[in-house]
Copies of this chain bind each other. A is one copy, B any other.
Amino acid sequence: MLDFTLMPKPQLEEKKRELEDAYRVFEGKHLKLNMARGKPGVEQLALSGQMLNELNSSSSFLASTGDDCRNYGLPDGLPEMRRLFAQMMDVDAGHVIVGGNSSLNMMFDTVSCGMTHGFAGCEPWGRQEHLKFLCPSPGYDRHFAVTQYFGFDLITVPMTSNGPDMDIVEKYVQDPSVKGIWCVPKYQNPMGITFSDETVRRFARLKPAAKDFRIFWDNAYCVHDLTDTPDQLLSLWNECEKAGSQEMVFYFASTSKITFPGAGVSAMAAADGNLSDIRKHYFYQTIGPDKLNQLRHISFLKDLKGVKAQMAKHREIIAPKFRAVLSKLDSELSGKNVGKWTKPKGGYFISVDVMPGCAKRVVSLCGKAGVKLTGAGATYPYGVDPQDSNIRIAPTYPPVNELNQAMSLFCVCVQLAAAEKLLKK
Report which A residues bind B (CB closer than 8 A). 37, 39-40, 42, 45-46, 48-50, 52-53, 55-59, 61, 68-73, 100-102, 104-105, 108-109, 112, 115-117, 124, 126-127, 142, 145-146, 149-150, 256, 260-263, 280, 284-293
Q: A57-B50, A102-B286 are in contact. Are A262 and B108 (CB under 8 A)?
A: no
When chains A and B are docked, how far (Å) is the Cα of A293 from the Cα of B293?
9
Q: A104-B286, A145-B284, A286-B102 are in contact. Are A52 and B42 (CB under 8 A)?
A: no
Contact B287 A256 (CB under 8 A): yes
| Option from B57, B117, B262 in Cβ contact (under 8 Å) with A73 | B262
Q: Chain B residues with Cβ under 8 A from A280's Cβ?
A: 149
- List the B side residues contacting A104 at CB < 8 Å: 285-287
Asked if B40 and A71 make an inter-chain contact with CB atoms under 8 angstroms apart, the answer reads: yes
Quick one: which of B59, B115, B287 contacts A261, CB cutoff 8 A?
B287
In the bound complex, residues from chain B placing their C-beta under 8 Å from that of A260 are: 70-71, 292
> Shortest distance in angstroms between A89's beta carbon and chain B's nearest beta carbon?
19
- Contact residues in B for A45 (Cβ distance below 8 Å): 61, 68, 70-71
Taking a contact as CB atoms under 8 Å apart, the answer to whether B293 and A105 are in contact is no
Bound: A52/B104 CA distance, A = 27
A52 to B293, CA, bound (A): 11
Question: How many copies altogether?
Answer: 2
- What residue in chain B is nearest A149 (Cβ atoms)? B284
Q: Which residues of B contact A55 (CB under 8 A)?
A: 52
B261 touches A71 (CB 8 A): yes
> A59 touches which one: B52, B116, B288, B289 (CB < 8 A)?
B52
Residues of B within 8 A of A73 (CB): 262
Whether A56 lies near B57 (C-beta < 8 A) is no
Bound-complex Cα distance A56 to B70 (A): 18
* A108 & B285 in contact (Cβ 8 Å cutoff): yes
| List of 7 A-B pairs having minimum Cβ-Cβ separation, nearest first | A49-B57, A263-B292, A108-B285, A105-B286, A70-B260, A149-B284, A101-B290
Q: CB-CB < 8 A to A289: which residues of B?
A: 101, 262
Q: Tell me how far the C-beta of A395 lies from the nearest C-beta in chain B, rounded to whole angstroms.
A: 16
Partner of A263, one of B112, B262, B291: B291
A290 in contact with B57 given A37-B72, A73-B262, A116-B116 (CB within 8 Å): no
Q: Which residues of B contact A42 (CB under 8 A)?
A: 68
Can you list 12 residue pairs at the A/B interface with Cβ under 8 Å? A40-B71, A45-B68, A50-B57, A101-B290, A102-B286, A112-B116, A116-B116, A146-B285, A261-B287, A263-B292, A290-B290, A290-B293
Q: Tell me if A72 and B287 are in contact (CB < 8 A).
A: no
Among B53, B112, B145, B263, which residue has its beta carbon within 8 angstroms of that of A70? Answer: B263
A182 to chain B, nearest CB (A): 14
Cross-chain contact B69 with A293 (CB below 8 angstroms): no
Q: Are A108 and B263 in contact, with the CB atoms below 8 A? A: no
Query: A149: which B residues are within 8 A, CB to CB?
Result: 117, 280, 284
Q: In the complex, what residues of B have CB within 8 A of residue A58's CB?
A: 49
Q: Is the CB of A72 within 8 A of B39?
A: yes
A127 nearest CB neighbor, chain B only: B126
Q: Which residue of B lies closest to A295 (CB)?
A: B263
Q: Chain B residues near A70 (CB, 8 Å)?
A: 45, 48, 260-263
Supply 10 further A-B pairs (C-beta < 8 A) apart from A49-B57, A108-B286, A262-B289.
Answer: A40-B71, A49-B56, A52-B55, A52-B56, A100-B290, A101-B290, A105-B285, A115-B126, A142-B284, A149-B284
Query: In the complex, how many angstroms separate the beta carbon of A17 from the nearest chain B beta carbon?
Result: 41
Cα distance A292–B311 when bound, in Å?
A: 22
Residues on the B chain within 8 Å of A53, using CB: 56-57
